[in-house]
Amino acid sequence: MFLWFHKFGSPPHFYRIAGKWIPWLAGIFAVFLLSGLYGGLFLAPADYQQGESYRIIFIHVPAAWMSLFIYVAMAFCGVVILVWRMKLAEVVLISSAPIGASFTFLALATGSLWGKPMWGTWWVWDARLTSELILLFLYLGVIGLHSAIDDKRIASRAVAILAIVGVVNIPIIHYSVEWWHSLHQGPTVTKFDKPSIHWSMLIPLLLMALAFQTYYVLALFQRSRAELLLRERNSKWVEELGRSGNV
């Protein structure tokens, strides 16, 4: 297991494996996305309280899930960076930040669009909304801090610490509805014993969640490959790629 982990962490090996997976991931993403959108927009019935406006959940909820998942992944990479100094973890962390920021912005934007007809306003300083906004600032802070330091090894350690410290915001976002009785509704999908959402809505929602997860891996592989080429541009394996035309 350790040997596999060490081999996968090798920049040239990861670059080759990621390149092979990108076309497959693009196809899987398209299947999940089209299936989820069709099920959510056309097959799922209208909500008995919110009518057609609830359909934004098929974008909003998976985006919110991904905003949390990606930051936790970044924090894990931060631990790997500080403990094992693994170069690939540095690349994954900084490559994940713009993707996570995009999902967080999408969650906030769609939440505002949903909140206007439901709450009568685009924005309230609700506990979950505020903590999600802080999460966006954390993503932007990671991106800005990494860009501000020229030595990328030092920059990676700095953003690793920021990612680890910022992970305390994740349980606050998750439990804010229960702790502060915010305007958001309580858990529905995560109540596996008896979910508060009908299967005709649940299945498209889970398909969209899989689509967004697949997109994250797809975008991560693409960004990581570009970041590796930039960092390793003077290494022998990148020079060989350039001569072979397989960059």
pLDDT at 7 (0 to 100): 58
Query: Is CATH 1.20.1440 correct for 14-244?
Result: no
Give the model confidence (pLDDT) of 108-145 as tens digits. 999 999 888 877 888 888 889 999 999 999 999 999 99
DSSP state of 214: H
pLDDT at 190 over 70: no
Q: How far is CA 170 from the centre of its chain?
A: 13
Give the model confidence (pLDDT) of 32-68 as tens digits. 999 999 999 999 998 877 888 889 999 999 999 999 9
Domain locations in the chain as residue ranges: 14-244
Whole-model pTM above 0.85? yes
- Contact in structure between 14 and 228 (CB atoms under 8 Å): yes
Residue-wise DSSP of 62-90: HHHHHHHHHHHHHHHHHHHHHHH--HHHH
pLDDT at 1 over 60: no
pLDDT at 241 (0 to 100): 85
